[in-house]
């Protein structure tokens, strides 16, 4: 009986409530907003208050860059997870998106493996490099712990022993060498202010900086001037909640043109309709004028991506066998980007 209940519990914990129904997924085939201009930048950053903690982040980032570049390491900024759009100042409700930060956290580990130092700009409480292997959903650590025979200590069971040893060794090496800086955000405003700040700090190392923008950035927001201070009451406005959002300026163009003009920049393009993915990725590349767009579909993002460059497009796919053996697609993506970054640095040196 107990075994049946346990089995049922286990099955229930595997029900994936976050997997979308592909047939009813949103249609993104409408034309995109134009890239942000210097005027858009000026008005956005003037009209919105920077997060109170920004100067603290600035000091931490500057010293991380100084130390790591001093040790001749290249530095990648990995952005990860979803940004929220608060509907109230004392926030009870907010708009969010699906991203758990898997792409970002996984990619950060492969960059570290390649000798890069990583600034990990992530949604607070989303997945982190290394600890992601033992999150409550993937491999709940508590399910693999047991008491020692004398009941005085805790031991890891045989199933997790090998994985834990390997992940712990990598994590401790990265920590001992101070190669990973974790910088959190929650809202889209915090994300944009922090992205700009880090980009400007990174500009001192020129082409040794790499941007890998995997965060799912909200396309819409509620301007500060229209956010109510307190929780919206359900009896207000005749019991209806009508949300009127503005487009978030497409700051990728400002990043390329002004905040980090010599760095190599990689962005992601997410779609749900495979017939428009490559076209949208190419449009982004032309509009923002950066080096690489990695296209991915919500439904298949863990198994295939497409690299779109000004003169090429190239699919990277996990074979069925590799996917069954839990090979991560980021283990194929990152070495290619590292090679492209090397070429990028060499091309800048000869300029
Ligand atoms: O976390 P996971 O579950 O693993 O999911 C990973 C992912 C699917 C979120 C990731 O692989 C991914 O595709 N991230 C980019 C999602 C996204 O924001 O796509 P987009 O098409 O809305 O934007 C394209 C680019 O424009 C992004 O690089 C973004 O930084 C940039 N952008 C977006 C909005 C905005 N206002 N300004 C921008 O510059």
Whether the CB of 267 sits within 6 Å of ligand 1: yes
Question: Using CB atoms within 10 A of its CB, is residue 317 exposed (0-12), middle (13-18) or buried (19+)?
Answer: middle
pLDDT recorded at residue 140: 86
Instruction: Kindly report the protein residue whose alpha carbon is nearest to atom 38 of ligand 1.
Output: 250
Instruction: Kindly report the protein residue whose alpha carbon is nearest to atom 35 of ligand 1.
Output: 250
Tokens of 286: 């032309």
pLDDT tens sequence across 254-273: 999 999 999 999 999 999 99
pLDDT tens sequence across 151-173: 999 999 998 999 999 999 999 99
Asked if residues 252 and 290 have their Cβ atoms less than 8 Å apart, the reply is yes
Mean pLDDT check: name the lowest of 5-19, 130-144, 247-261, 284-298: 5-19
pLDDT recorded at residue 29: 47
CA of 251, closest atom in ligand 1: 39
Domains of the chain in sequence order = 48-140+167-349 (3.40.50.10300)
Question: Hey, which of 138, 217, 291, 306 would you mutate to test ligand 1's pocket, going by the most ligand atoms within 8 Å of its Cβ?
Answer: 217
Question: Hey, which of 216, 271, 305, 328 would you mutate to test ligand 1's pocket, going by the most ligand atoms within 8 Å of its Cβ?
Answer: 216
pLDDT category at 27 given cuts 50, 70, 90 is very low
- Centre of ligand 1 from the C-alpha of residue 82, in Å: 9
Instruction: Kindly report the protein residue whose alpha carbon is nearest to atom 5 of ligand 1.
Output: 99
pLDDT recorded at residue 28: 45
Mean pLDDT of the chain: 91
- Rounded to 5°, the CA angle 150-134-64 comes to 115
% of the chain exceeding 70 in pLDDT: 91
Question: Using CB atoms within 10 A of its CB, is residue 258 exposed (0-12), middle (13-18) or buried (19+)?
Answer: middle
CA of 250, closest atom in ligand 1: 37
| pLDDT above 80 (res 14) | no
- Centre of ligand 1 from the C-alpha of residue 254, in Å: 16
Whats the size of the chain, residue-wise? 351
- Centre of ligand 1 from the C-alpha of residue 313, in Å: 19
- Centre of ligand 1 from the C-alpha of residue 54, in Å: 23
Asked if residues 284 and 309 have their Cβ atoms less than 8 Å apart, the reply is no
| pLDDT above 60 (res 51) | yes
| pLDDT above 90 (res 139) | no
Asked if residues 75 and 204 have their Cβ atoms less than 8 Å apart, the reply is no
| pLDDT above 70 (res 228) | yes
- Rounded to 5°, the CA angle 217-222-226 comes to 165
């Amino acid at each position: 009986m107990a075994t049946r209940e346990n089995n049922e519990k286990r099955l229930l914990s595997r029900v994936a409530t976050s997997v979308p129904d592909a047939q009813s997924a949103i249609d993104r085939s409408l034309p995109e907003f134009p890239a942000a201009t210097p005027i858009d930048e000026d008005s956005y950053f003037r009209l919105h208050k920077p997060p109170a903690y920004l100067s603290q982040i600035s000091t931490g980032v500057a010293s991380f860059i100084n130390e790591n570049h001093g040790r001749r390491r290249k530095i990648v900024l990995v952005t990860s997870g979803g940004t929220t759009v608060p509907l109230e100042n004392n926030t009870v409700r907010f708009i969010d998106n699906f991203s758990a930060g898997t792409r970002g956290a996984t990619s950060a580990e492969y960059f570290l493996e390649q000798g890069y130092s990583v600034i990990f700009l992530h949604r607070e409480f989303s997945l982190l490099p290394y600890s992601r292997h033992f999150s409550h959903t993937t491999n709940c650590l508590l399910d693999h712990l047991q008491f020692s025979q004398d009941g005085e200590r805790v031991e890891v069971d045989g199933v997790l022993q090998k994985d834990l040893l390997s992940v712990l060794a990598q994590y401790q090496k990265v920590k001992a060498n101070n190669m990973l800086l974790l910088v959190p955000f929650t809202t889209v405003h915090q994300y944009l202010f922090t992205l700009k700040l880090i980009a400007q700090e990174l500009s001192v190392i020129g082409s040794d900086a790499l941007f890998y923008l995997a965060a799912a950035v909200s396309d819409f927001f509620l301007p500060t001037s229209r956010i109510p201070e307190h929780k919206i009451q359900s009896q207000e406005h005749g019991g209806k909640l009508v949300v009127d959002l503005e487009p978030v300026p497409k700051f990728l163009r400002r990043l390329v043109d002004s905040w980090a003009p010599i760095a190599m920049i990689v962005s992601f393009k997410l779609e749900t309709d495979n017939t428009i993915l490559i076209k949208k990725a190419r449009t982004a590349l032309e509009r923002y004028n950066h080096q690489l767009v990695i296209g991915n579909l919500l439904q298949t993002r863990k198994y295939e991506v497409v690299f779109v460059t000004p003169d090429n497009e190239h699919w990277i796919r996990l074979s069925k066998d590799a996917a069954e053996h839990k090979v991560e697609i980021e283990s194929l993506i990152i070495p290619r980007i590292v090679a492209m970054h090397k070429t990028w640095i060499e091309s800048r040196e000869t300029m």
